[in-house]
Amino acid sequence: MKKPRIAMLSEHASPLALLGGEDAGGQNVYVSEVSTNVSALGFQVDVFTRQDSEKAQEINEWAKGVRVINLRAGPATFLKKDELWVHMPQFYDSLLSFAHKQRIKYDLIHANFWMSGSVACDLRREWAVPFVEIFHALGRIKRLYQGEADTSPEDRIDVENRVVDTADVIIAQCPAEKEELVELYGADEERISIVPSAVDTDVFKPVPKRQARKTLGLNPNDKILVYVGRLLPRKAIDDIVYALAILAQRTPRVPRLLIVGGETEHVSPENHEEVRRLAGIAASLGVGHLLTFIGRRRHVVLKYYYSAADVCVSTPWYEPFGLVPLEAMACGTPMVVSEVGGMKFTVQDGKTGFHVPPKDPAALAAKLELLLNDGILRETMGRRARERVQESFTWRQVAKRMALIYDQLLSAQLARDRVPGAHEAGYASFGPASFGQDL
């Protein structure tokens, strides 16, 4: 039987970026893992992304059953994602002409982020196929937290409203996102399905602490905190620095903080604005010597950092989902996270780590102190964290849930095709069950 063909749209986050040292965040990982794992369950996936270099080939074999297609949309150079909106009409045209040229009929669209969602709304009408949307981040939430600093295009929220009204199924990554979609966008609950992101437990697995530290040239006796992620103000790494300064006044054995991330393998105050800002704050608090900016590291190397840590910390102002806590947990390390977004759901407070209010360095310092002084607590939480990931957050599990949603939509599509004049109705009304059920 012919495998259903999925058009996976991800205008700014390409799996190919994971190969280089470029700034690739959670969405790149998501697109790669979901595509690869659903293809193993009998789908053929083409990932459509924007060509961001003259050297990039149009068609790239990414994994068995998965290709990454670079589409011409604006100049073939790197552009910030907030600059891409004006190029989306060309993205749409390039996608249509690719499908036409290759004589491919896609059976279903899975769009990532609001801009691809907008393209998917038009493709859904053009191709008369179902459309699954995952936003990864919502414009209203971003505006709420970033205010004036939000550089998203003006149209974003209007476009998101259209996507919410048009998509046949919306994937929320956690209960908090589902609530936001319903309350802030008036989304129909019946069409929302909660499917979290996940982690590759073969890549992210515990390495004995001594060995991890030896590999990284770290002192086995130091207390070590690790932050992994992009270096952005909203990630509030400065709050970890403030917490360090509080700890430095209370305890003689102050932990070191390793900050892993950035656009390149080496980052320094000279070449990175956020590093400069953080280093400045640390110096003014007298804890500059405790910080090390590691730079960007590949996934295969990150397990050593997560395992070398006594505690991993991530205290952003907001976080739509957050892959980093899952990665740390998969390596058996307890997390202290701010009580926001997906992290409220992935990290269990008091069981696999601790929640603290965002923007509260004193609360963060208190939980860090508790964990740093209690090896048994760290070990118990770390073990439970690994178990939780294995039980609920592997890509295989996510792919199974996605495949079920795809199958339901494709069956609904078949049923709909048999009913004359039914093409204006939503697919969900032809589905065997509500997509709103959390599978």
Which residues in this chain contact ligand UDP in the complex, by CB under 6 A? 25-26, 29, 228-230, 260-261, 296-297, 299, 302, 321-324, 327
Nearer to ligand UDP, 86 or 232 (CB): 232
Closest distance between ligand UDP and the C-beta of residue 25, in Å?
A: 3
Residue 422: phi, psi to the nearest 5?
-90, 0
- Residue linked to tokens 């065997």: 432
Closest distance between ligand UDP and the C-beta of residue 79, in Å?
A: 18
**DSSP three-state, residue 188:** coil
- Residue 187 tokens read as 């989304």
**DSSP three-state, residue 212:** helix
Rounded-to-integer distance, Cα 141 and Cα 88, Å: 23
DSSP 28-75: HHHHHHHHHHHHTTT-EEEEEEE--STT--SEEEEETTEEEEEEP-S-
**DSSP three-state, residue 426:** coil
Rounded-to-integer distance, Cα 27 and Cα 136, Å: 7
Nearer to ligand UDP, 261 or 353 (CB): 261
DSSP structural state of residue 283: H
Nearer to ligand UDP, 38 or 294 (CB): 294
Nearer to ligand UDP, 348 or 380 (CB): 348
Contact assessment for residue 368 and residue 239, using Cβ atoms and an 8 Å cutoff? no
Closest distance between ligand UDP and the C-beta of residue 8, in Å?
A: 17
Nearer to ligand UDP, 29 or 34 (CB): 29
Nearer to ligand UDP, 29 or 281 (CB): 29
Closest distance between ligand UDP and the C-beta of residue 72, in Å?
A: 26
DSSP 219-282: -TTS-EEEEES---GGG-HHHHHHHHHHHHHH-SSPPEEEEE--SSS---TTT-HHHHHHHHHH
Nearer to ligand UDP, 181 or 199 (CB): 199
Closest distance between ligand UDP and the C-beta of residue 152, in Å?
A: 15
Closest distance between ligand UDP and the C-beta of residue 432, in Å?
A: 33
List, edge to edge, every strand of the sheet that includes 256-260: 291-295, 256-260, 224-228, 311-314, 335-338, 353-356
Nearer to ligand UDP, 216 or 415 (CB): 216
Nearer to ligand UDP, 66 or 337 (CB): 337
Closest distance between ligand UDP and the C-beta of residue 236, in Å?
A: 12
Rounded-to-integer distance, Cα 406 and Cα 23, Å: 30
Closest distance between ligand UDP and the C-beta of residue 211, in Å?
A: 20
Closest distance between ligand UDP and the C-beta of residue 153, in Å?
A: 19
Question: How are beta strands 66-71 and 108-112 bridged, if at all?
Answer: unpaired
